[in-house]
């Protein structure tokens, strides 16, 4: 299965950049899309903004041609880099769902929640100054970059309610953010991004099926990398099959012993080895959090036990 590492040209006008989320290689990917003007799709953590600026400079892309800084959703490892980028890219507007934009202006509540869930692995969003131009978008919006390069915005709720994917039309390159899971770079596993409190199982599954319908030629995961051609149907199938396996594992564990520990143990025992992204010391914690998110979404009245 060809897996595209980085920095790498995906097409003649799209580059995939490793922005090194959590200061770790092959964890978080952004795209630079070029027409006459330039768009950045996804910004990583606050500190990843520097990696994106360096990538623009390396390619001698004039900073004043960057018109769009796009984010897929409100989580800090996706929109956090928008704040430093917006101060350096003064012709650009920050593009995202209205909830993501609202979070960028007022991140304190989300930062507190992330700190509670992820402890030392949480990386806070710095507030976007009021002076920065923003554009609230939703499913069906699009923008043009010139030279027949255009980007369509696809509503993909489930991971969060404000999740958007971005499709570059001429190359059919689809940037999925967290809409379809985490791609393992060694064995091409796909792990559901079922983080609480926002994850909704049915919407998440429907969004994966919706993205499948766009018949993309290049498929890009935020965490991490790209797949192409005939591997794409395999990855879609794997994402849906793994999601169902997680559901089955959680429901069986809950039926046997309805406790948080039982659910987390069952998911960790069966799926931890499949989680190949994020710093290794973070993976056990992250998979427990994702088990909790999926269980909360599936099991009615589990809040008290799952927490």
Find where tokens 């929640």 sit: 113
- To the nearest whole angstrom, how small is the minimum distance from the Cβ of residue 31 to Zn ion? 17
Nearer of residues 48 and 66 to Zn ion, judged by Cβ: 48
Q: 233: burial class by Cβ within 10 Å (0-12, 13-18, 19+)?
A: exposed
- To the nearest whole angstrom, how small is the minimum distance from the Cβ of residue 265 to Zn ion? 24
- To the nearest whole angstrom, how small is the minimum distance from the Cβ of residue 97 to Zn ion? 13
Site for Zn ion in 63-82 (CB under 5 A): 75
Nearer of residues 67 and 75 to Zn ion, judged by Cβ: 75
Instruction: Using CB positions, name the residue nearest to Zn ion.
Output: 75
- To the nearest whole angstrom, how small is the minimum distance from the Cβ of residue 187 to Zn ion? 22
Nearer of residues 24 and 217 to Zn ion, judged by Cβ: 24
3-state secondary structure of 96: strand
- To the nearest whole angstrom, how small is the minimum distance from the Cβ of residue 189 to Zn ion? 18
- To the nearest whole angstrom, how small is the minimum distance from the Cβ of residue 198 to Zn ion? 8
* 175/41 Cα distance (integer angstroms): 8
Beta bridge partners of 30: 17
For the chain, give percent helix, strand, coil, nearest 5.
40, 20, 40
Residue pair 275/184 in contact (Cβ under 8 Å)? The answer is: yes
Site for Zn ion in 90-109 (CB under 5 A): none
- To the nearest whole angstrom, how small is the minimum distance from the Cβ of residue 144 to Zn ion? 28
Site map (CB under 5 A) of Zn ion, residues 173-202, x = contact: -----x------------------------
Nearer of residues 16 and 176 to Zn ion, judged by Cβ: 176
Q: Give how many residues touch Zn ion by CB under 5 A.
A: 2
* 178/155 Cα distance (integer angstroms): 12
* 78/72 Cα distance (integer angstroms): 7
Nearer of residues 172 and 205 to Zn ion, judged by Cβ: 205
- To the nearest whole angstrom, how small is the minimum distance from the Cβ of residue 78 to Zn ion? 6
Q: 245 is written with which tokens?
A: 């396996």
Q: 197 is written with which tokens?
A: 């409190």
Residue pair 296/306 in contact (Cβ under 8 Å)? The answer is: yes
* 151/143 Cα distance (integer angstroms): 5
Nearer of residues 208 and 266 to Zn ion, judged by Cβ: 208
Nearest to 155, CA basis, from 143, 167, 147: 167
- Taking CA atoms, 216 is separated from 26, 74, 172, 234, in Å, by 22, 24, 5, 13
Query: Cα torsion at 124, 128, 129, 130 (round to 10°)?
Result: -140
Nearer of residues 166 and 254 to Zn ion, judged by Cβ: 166
Stretch that binds Zn ion, among 24-32, 131-139, 172-180, 287-295 (CB under 5 A): 172-180
Nearer of residues 168 and 178 to Zn ion, judged by Cβ: 178
Rule CB under 5 A: is residue 45 a binding residue for Zn ion? no
Residues forming contacts to Zn ion in the complex (CB under 5 A) are 75, 178
């Amino acid at each position: 299965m060809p897996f595209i590492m980085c920095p790498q040209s995906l097409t003649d006008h799209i580059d995939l950049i490793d922005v090194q989320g959590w200061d770790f290689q092959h964890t978080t990917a952004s795209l630079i899309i070029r027409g006459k003007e330039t768009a950045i799709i996804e910004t990583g953590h606050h500190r990843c903004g520097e990696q994106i600026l360096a990538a623009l400079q390396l390619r001698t892309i004039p900073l004043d041609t960057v018109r769009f800084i796009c984010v897929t959703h409100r989580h800090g490892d996706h929109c956090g880099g928008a704040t430093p980028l917006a101060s350096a890219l003064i012709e650009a507007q920050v593009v995202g769902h209205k909830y993501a934009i609202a979070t960028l202006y007022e991140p304190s509540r989300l930062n507190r929640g992330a700190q509670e869930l992820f402890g030392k692995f949480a990386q806070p969003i710095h507030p976007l100054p009021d002076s920065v131009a923003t554009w609230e978008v939703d499913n069906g919006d699009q923008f043009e970059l010139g030279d027949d390069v255009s980007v369509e915005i696809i509503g993909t709720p489930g991971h969060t309610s404000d999740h958007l994917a971005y499709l570059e039309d001429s190359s059919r390159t689809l940037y999925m953010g967290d809409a379809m899971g985490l791609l393992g770079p060694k064995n091409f596993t796909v792990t559901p991004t079922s983080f609480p409190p926002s994850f909704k199982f049915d919407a998440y599954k429907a969004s994966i099926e919706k993205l499948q319908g766009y018949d993309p030629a290049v498929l890009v995961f935020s965490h991490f990398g790209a797949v192409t051609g005939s591997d794409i149907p395999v990855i879609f199938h794997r994402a849906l099959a793994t999601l169902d396996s997680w559901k089955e594992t959680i429901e069986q564990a809950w039926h046997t012993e309805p406790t948080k520990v039982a659910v987390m143990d069952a998911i960790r025992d069966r799926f931890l080895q499949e989680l190949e992204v994020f710093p290794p010391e973070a993976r056990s914690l992250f998979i427990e959090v994702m088990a909790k998110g999926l269980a909360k979404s599936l099991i009615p009245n589990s809040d008290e036990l799952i927490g």
